[in-house]
Each structure stands twice: as structure tokens, then as C-alpha cells.
């Protein structure tokens, strides 16, 4: 497999009479885009807003953030299983509007672990600096769905609106020469013995069964995680639309933008191309609902790394809170027992900041641990000049001044390697 990203930098988005690229500016025909989105009968109206870095602006609650991307006609489909047929993702050329984002808002607060504000997009101040999303040009979708819809139907409408918009915008780049290209080379069995370098695999959780999945939730090629076992995926599938986040607002979870720019996968690719290691492939798995599922899934994932990917080492990340933590550590313990060295990324979510509270496993052999916390980081943010939200009540709640924790600012407390926070030892 080979995936090429044709990269078109974007430094400004503005509304215009047609959707087109003008140098590094993206003009958007708002009426044409709105008509496209309203083809979905579950939407009754759509508001479109723009937000730029440094602006005194706050938006929320955030449902998802997507990088505008579109596949060339001779490539694999756009978001297969949802917008396109369920063919293998990661083939051919993908046009990328780098520096921009499509942000989809919810109509009401998600509640649960994210509180009244849900995930907030900050475009100015210290909290904005802590998130990659604060540096992007955003086209923000404020959807209005039919009254009385069940949550899963409303969330499905949000998802379709975001993905359709991302593809619609990126197709404006088809007739333009990209500023640069990034090619992710084919991984094959012959590469594993290259230069005697170690073969490294990635094991990533894509959902936690501590949360009850919604009906018809689209996570992997348009399907949910019911009955899912660990599955080997080519790294390009992660980067090119095969995987999408859960509808749930998980603790330090992921956005579509995260998967499109997955930091662990892109770093392994970089080091593979620099001949520092051999990137052997990936395994997608879930955190289990009970001990039976945990034993089965952890052993399946470890055996795939050993027998299918034939790796010498593995990097593991988790999705969510304590249950994913234990699945990650058990998989790492099994791999170490097979002679496969592991490195795990974990997040301390203990509010009392005591080691005893954060200690969910203590396996001597799992001793390469990267802590990407930040749960204790917070900001007192001022009132902003502009709030983008779906209702007057939400606008008032988000207007400020507010006390925001890192887990409530989208893109900051990411548990899978995308955080900009740095751990300091005093």
C-alpha cells in the first residue's frame, strides 16, 4: 500500500460566491454548502461560522473536528463505509487543506464526564496555545436537527455533516498543484529485516466498552465495536478515513483530525523512513467490558503483534479512563512475556495527584512508561467577544469568564500522544 498526501496550506477562510482556492486562502460558497448538507432530511437548518487563531472567540460544545481532505478520483473512497463504499482506505492520493479544520458543534451539552460546557474550542489565550486546534482556521457547523430524534440519529447527522463538508472543501484543491507531498511507503515483509533494525508495531485502542456504544455508531469502516476483536490494520488506513471517533465525549479521547494526523503512527513512519527502525504495522483494539473480554482481547492483540506483525517491540496507547488502563497494561505484560519490548502511554487522572491513586498496574516488566497527563492543568479564561453555540443558553454559559480544566478544552488532554502539554520535574 502507498498513500500520498497532497498538501495545500491554508492561512485564511472566507465566504465568497464560489468555493475555490485563492493561493493559501479558501473561499467558501456558504449557500451551496448549506444546500448540500440539508439534503440530509434529519437536518432542518445549518449555520456556518468562521473562526481564526487569536480571535476572541469560543465555540462549543464540540462534537468533532475534521481536517478537510478529499480523495483523487483514481484512489480509495472518501471515508469508506460512510460516504463511500466499504473499500480499503489508504490508497492513492489524498488532497489536504493543511492549517484548516471543519468543527461540528452539538445542539446541547453532552453532560456525563465533560460537564455543562462539554468540549470547548478556545481561539485565544493560554488555553488556545495548549491545543493544536487553536492555531487552525475553522469553518464551524452549527446543526439544527428535527425535534424528537434519538441521540444516535442526531449524532449520525452531525457526523455526516462534518465529513461531507471536509470532502466538499478539499475538492477545491483538485486542480491546484500542492505545495508539498508526503508519501507513506508500503510496508512489506521484506522491510522487516532491513539493516537489522528492530521491527516496531503499534497497538491502539479505538473505543472503551466502559461506555455503552450508541446504536449504529460509525467507528471502523462505518461500523461500531459490538463483538469486535483486535484487528490488524495498515497504518495508512488509520490516516485515511477508515477510523472515526466514538460519538461519546471520552476522557482525553480523539477527534477525526487526530486520526488523520495520528502522532504515534506518523512518528513511527518518520523513523522508518529515516532508517531508525522498521515500522511493522498496527493493531486496532478496544478496552473490554469485563474480565472475560479483557483476557480474550489482550491475548488476541498480543498474538497478532507476535505472529502476524512479527514485531520485536510495540507501542501501546489507550482510549478513556481506568478500564482502558488495565487492558493496556495487561497487553503489554503479555507482550513482554513473549520477548517483545513495550512502551506504554498512560494518563494520570487521579485528582488528588497521589501516586497511590494513579497506580492501576504495577508490573515490573512493563517499565517503559510515558505519562501524558495534564488533568490538573486549568485556566481562568476571560469573557470573549464572540461565542458560537446552538442556543442562547449555551452562548451565555460559554461566554465567560470561566474556569476551564484541560479535559474540557478540545485537543489538550489527549491520551494518545497529541497533547502539547509537557511534564516538568521540579
Dig out the grid coordinates for 272 from the structure.
522508518
pLDDT at 356 over 60: no
pLDDT at 328 over 60: yes
Dig out the grid coordinates for 56 from the structure.
476572541
pLDDT at 424 over 60: no
What per-residue confidence (pLDDT) applies to 241?
A: 96
- Mean predicted confidence (pLDDT) in 352-356: 60
Separation in Å, CA 329 to CA 63, 101, 206, 326: 29, 34, 16, 5
pLDDT at 33 over 50: yes
pLDDT at 269 over 50: yes
pLDDT at 190 over 50: yes
- Mean predicted confidence (pLDDT) in 159-188: 94
What per-residue confidence (pLDDT) applies to 185?
A: 81
pLDDT at 161 over 60: yes
Residue of higher predicted confidence among 214 and 71:
71
Instruction: Determine contact, residues 174/72, Cβ cutoff 8 Å.
Output: yes
- Cα separation, 232 vs 243, whole angstroms: 13
CATH 3.40.50: which residues of the chain? 187-371
**Each residue's pLDDT tens digit, 113-142:** 556 678 999 999 999 998 999 999 999 999
What per-residue confidence (pLDDT) applies to 369?
A: 86
**Each residue's pLDDT tens digit, 60-104:** 999 999 999 999 999 999 999 999 999 999 999 999 999 999 999
Residue of higher predicted confidence among 413 and 146:
146
- Mean predicted confidence (pLDDT) in 335-350: 88
Q: How confident is the model at residue 358 (pLDDT cuts 50, 70, 90)?
A: low
What per-residue confidence (pLDDT) applies to 229?
A: 95
The proportion of the chain whose per-residue pLDDT surpasses 70, expressed as a percent, equals 91
- Mean predicted confidence (pLDDT) in 10-21: 97
- Mean predicted confidence (pLDDT) in 258-272: 95
Residue of higher predicted confidence among 362 and 402:
402
pLDDT at 426 over 50: no
- Cα separation, 132 vs 101, whole angstroms: 11
- Checking phi first, is residue 132 left (phi over 0); if not, alpha (psi -120 to 50) or beta? alpha
What per-residue confidence (pLDDT) applies to 150?
A: 94
- Mean predicted confidence (pLDDT) in 297-307: 97
Q: How confident is the model at residue 325 (pLDDT cuts 50, 70, 90)?
A: confident
What per-residue confidence (pLDDT) applies to 130?
A: 87
Closest alpha carbon to 346 in 305, 304, 374: 374
What per-residue confidence (pLDDT) applies to 305?
A: 97
What per-residue confidence (pLDDT) applies to 116?
A: 66
- Mean predicted confidence (pLDDT) in 402-426: 77
- Mean predicted confidence (pLDDT) in 314-338: 91
CATH 3.40.50, applies to 187-371? yes
Cα Dmax for the chain = 63
What per-residue confidence (pLDDT) applies to 350?
A: 64
What per-residue confidence (pLDDT) applies to 115?
A: 61
- Cα separation, 256 vs 246, whole angstroms: 10
- Mean predicted confidence (pLDDT) in 160-175: 98
The proportion of the chain whose per-residue pLDDT surpasses 90, expressed as a percent, equals 73
What per-residue confidence (pLDDT) applies to 425?
A: 54
pLDDT at 171 over 90: yes
State the chain's mean pLDDT as an integer. Answer: 90
Amino acid at each position: 500500500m502507498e498513500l500520498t498526501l497532497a498538501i495545500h496550506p491554508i492561512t485564511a477562510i472566507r465566504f465568497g460566491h464560489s468555493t475555490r482556492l485563492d493561493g493559501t486562502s479558501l473561499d467558501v460558497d456558504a449557500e451551496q454548502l448549506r444546500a448540500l448538507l440539508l439534503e440530509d432530511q434529519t437536518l432542518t437548518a445549518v449555520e456556518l461560522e468562521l473562526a481564526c487563531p487569536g480571535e476572541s472567540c469560543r465555540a462549543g460544545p464540540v462534537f468533532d473536528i475534521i481536517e478537510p481532505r478529499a480523495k483523487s478520483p483514481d484512489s480509495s473512497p472518501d471515508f469508506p463505509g460512510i460516504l463511500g463504499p466499504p473499500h480499503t482506505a489508504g490508497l492513492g492520493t489524498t488532497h489536504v487543506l493543511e492549517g484548516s479544520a471543519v468543527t461540528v458543534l452539538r445542539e446541547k451539552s453532552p453532560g456525563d464526564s465533560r460537564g455543562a460546557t462539554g468540549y470547548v474550542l478556545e481561539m485565544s489565550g493560554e488555553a488556545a496555545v495548549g491545543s493544536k486546534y487553536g492555531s487552525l482556521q475553522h469553518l464551524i457547523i452549527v446543526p439544527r436537527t428535527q425535534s424528537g430524534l434519538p441521540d444516535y440519529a442526531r449524532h449520525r447527522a452531525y457526523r455526516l455533516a462534518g465529513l461531507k463538508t471536509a470532502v466538499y472543501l478539499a475538492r477545491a484543491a483538485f486542480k491546484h498543484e500542492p505545495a508539498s507531498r508526503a508519501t507513506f511507503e508500503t510496508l512489506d515483509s521484506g522491510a522487516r529485516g532491513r539493516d537489522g533494525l528492530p521491527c516496531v508495531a503499534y497497538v491502539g485502542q479505538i473505543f472503551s466498552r466502559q461506555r455503552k456504544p450508541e446504536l449504529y455508531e460509525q467507528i471502523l469502516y462505518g461500523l461500531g465495536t459490538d463483538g469486535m476483536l483486535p484487528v490488524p490494520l495498515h497504518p495508512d488506513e488509520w490516516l485515511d478515513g477508515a477510523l472515526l471517533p466514538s460519538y461519546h465525549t471520552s476522557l482525553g479521547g480523539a477527534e477525526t483530525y487526530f486520526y488523520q494526523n495520528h502522532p504515534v503512527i506518523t512518528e513511527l513512519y518518520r523513523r522508518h523512513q529515516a532508517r531508525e527502525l522498521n515500522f511493522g504495522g498496527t493493531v486496532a483494539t478496544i478496552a473490554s467490558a469485563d474480565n472475560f473480554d479483557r483476557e480474550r482481547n489482550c491475548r488476541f492483540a498480543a498474538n497478532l503483534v507476535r505472529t502476524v506483525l512479527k514485531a520485536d517491540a510495540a507501542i501501546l496507547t489507550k482510549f478513556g479512563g481506568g478500564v482502558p488502563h488495565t487492558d493496556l497494561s495487561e497487553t503489554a505484560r503479555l507482550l513482554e512475556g513473549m520477548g517483545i519490548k513495550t512502551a506504554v502511554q498512560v494518563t494520570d487522572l487521579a485528582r488528588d495527584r497521589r501516586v497511590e491513586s494513579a497506580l492501576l498496574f504495577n508490573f515490573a516488566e512493563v517499565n517503559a512508561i510515558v505519562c501524558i497527563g495534564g488533568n490538573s492543568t486549568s485556566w481562568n479564561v476571560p469573557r470573549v467577544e464572540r461565542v458560537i453555540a446552538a442556543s442562547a443558553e449555551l452562548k451565555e454559559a460559554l461566554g465567560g469568564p470561566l474556569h476551564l480544566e484541560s479535559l474540557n478544552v478540545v485537543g489538550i488532554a489527549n491520551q494518545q500522544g497529541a497533547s502539547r502539554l509537557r511534564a516538568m520535574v521540579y
